[in-house]
Amino acid sequence: MRSTWLISAGAAVVLLLTSSPAPAQDRGREPINRELRTKFNDRDRQAARRWYNENRENLPQGFWDEDRSGPGEESRLQAGTTLDSSTRKRVRPVPVDLLRRLPPRHYRYGILNEHLLIVEDKTWNISDIIRLHGDDGHQG
């Protein structure tokens, strides 16, 4: 009986070590495009602008006058650029009530100079940006 148990346990170990997990078949759905998950879509932009307009009278840190920078830094806030170490220190967390309106991301959300950013955790590269104070809430 002990030898049967040892043989069964050994076979199970061999199967676990030599098998690979089969990818789940997701029929009827389009494949997920990783690029889309790291960019804001129109719904995200509308939700962010709505939050901004609803909270205009009581905006948190990150939206205050002393949080704003000069035109030189403003021009560097573009998708595809990397935040330098001094700028990273000024990025503020996104308010919880705004964060709840946005989908979860694999990247970090942040607020800087009235901009909502998606940045890569390790590199601090800006993946996408929404200008919250301005005409239409799009990058700019």
- Residue 1: the pLDDT is 58
Indicate if the alpha-carbon torsion angle 75, 92, 123, 100 is positive or negative.
negative
Provide block-wise average pLDDT over 10 residues at a time, the chain (140 residues).
Answer: 56 45 41 60 94 90 68 80 91 92 87 91 93 58
Q: Is 90 exposed, middle or buried (0-12, 13-18, 19+ CB in 10 A)?
A: middle
> What pLDDT is attached to residue 62?
72
Identify the pLDDT of residue 95. 92
18 Ramachandran zone, left/alpha/beta (phi>0; psi -120 to 50): alpha
CATH architecture for segment(s) 35-140 = Roll (3.10)
Q: What is the per-residue pLDDT for 47?
A: 95
Q: CA 113: distance to chain centroid?
A: 18
Tokens linked to 36: 């889309």
Among all chains, which residue has been given the structure tokens 């390790």? Answer: 122
Q: What is the pTM of this model?
A: 0.66
